[in-house]
Amino acid sequence: MTIRFHSTTLADGRELIYVDDADTTLGPERSIDRRVLDPRPETARMRQDVLTGEWVSIASNRQNRVFMPPPDQDPLAPASAANPSEIPSNYDVAVFENRSPSFGPALEHEHAPTSLDDLAEIGIGRSRTSVGRCEVVCFSPDHEGSFGSQTVSRARTVIEAWAHRTAALSALPGIQQVFPFENRGAEIGVTLPHPHGQIYAYPFVTPRTNTLLRSIDAVGPDLFARVLESEQGSERVVLQGEYFTAFVPFAARWPIEVHVLPHRHVPDFAALSDAEKDELAPFYRRLLRGIDALYPTPTPYIAAWHQAPVHIGREAVRLMLQVTSPRRGADRLKYLAGSEAAMGAFIGDVAPEAQAAFIREGIEKTGND
């Protein structure tokens, strides 16, 4: 059996893709979205911060998005007569265009960025249209959960969806970088407890990646291979497989911070082999379950899949997961205060080696589950 994709459209024209598990019990039939919806919002505008050269999307349409609805009004649950949600049919995994996007829905616009050189220019009052695309990835029809609470089969389906969407979004006009991520927990700012993540397709290369590209220029195109070799030889490794290694980085910023690198160079999800994706499903699931086992209650986190830009740096920038959490105790969080928030100068509260030992204990509690 294979993972299958079914593409359709919602009532306002947004794309919806059903992704069926390899061992799905669902049939191929899908209901039509019969809602009457308002027109899609105008594409936002982004403004350049002349002090840094960075671009900020001003997406005011997001101000009224749903906040912690009751289970019977979950907008990511399969639709029912009492809950005309975003997804008309039952599903295993579902991907759809965000109703309140930070980028898009327009992919082309007369005021869109014309090139990376255009974006790199710096001046006062510069503005461009926030072309691009934002998608929601629902990991399950259940009302609550996370990636780590899914079965291995379901985790593999989500990974296949990430690979599929990375390839498709990278091929769209104006897209410079594709970013899959999961926000988990109210402490992070999550507004829906439904197990889901998002994918942003940006019209620019993100500030974090531009900084990385400068480091690659300084150190060399083999930077990631050298980082992996260094970390594998340290006491900071928390989990290792045939194709992936997870470790607490040498200069960790957050109380809980784990990075994952593939052992060979791949720029993004779309470049992973089937064997690598097959290992990643239980590997990543076990890592997240181990982080959840650190404390009596689930750990809030941001799981960020850094991928190479679409058009530059692909021979040097490697696919990398960075899981970060502000949790520094059972009932304590690290807040970004003056040095971190204002100056970007982080102060670590715990030695990375000690945190690696703590996270290994959490992973060991889960066994091979």
Q: Are 54 and 43 in contact (CB under 8 A)?
A: no
In the block, tokens 């599903």 appear at 91
| One-character DSSP codes across 64-77 | G---S--GGG-TTS
Name the phi and psi angles at 348, rounded to 5.
Answer: -80, 140
Euclidean distance between CA atoms 182 and 137, whole angstroms? 9
Name the phi and psi angles at 283, rounded to 5.
Answer: -65, -55
Euclidean distance between CA atoms 165 and 170, whole angstroms? 8
Q: Is 196 a catalytic residue?
A: yes
Q: What is the dihedral of CA 287, 288, 289, 290, to 10 degrees?
A: 50
Q: Are 145 and 139 in contact (CB under 8 A)?
A: yes
Q: What is the dihedral of CA 66, 70, 73, 79, to 10 degrees?
A: 120
Angstrom CA distances, 104 to 55, 166, 182, 193, stand at 15, 16, 20, 25
Active-site choice (109, 143, 164, 196)? 196
Euclidean distance between CA atoms 263 and 278, whole angstroms? 14
Residues with catalytic roles: 196
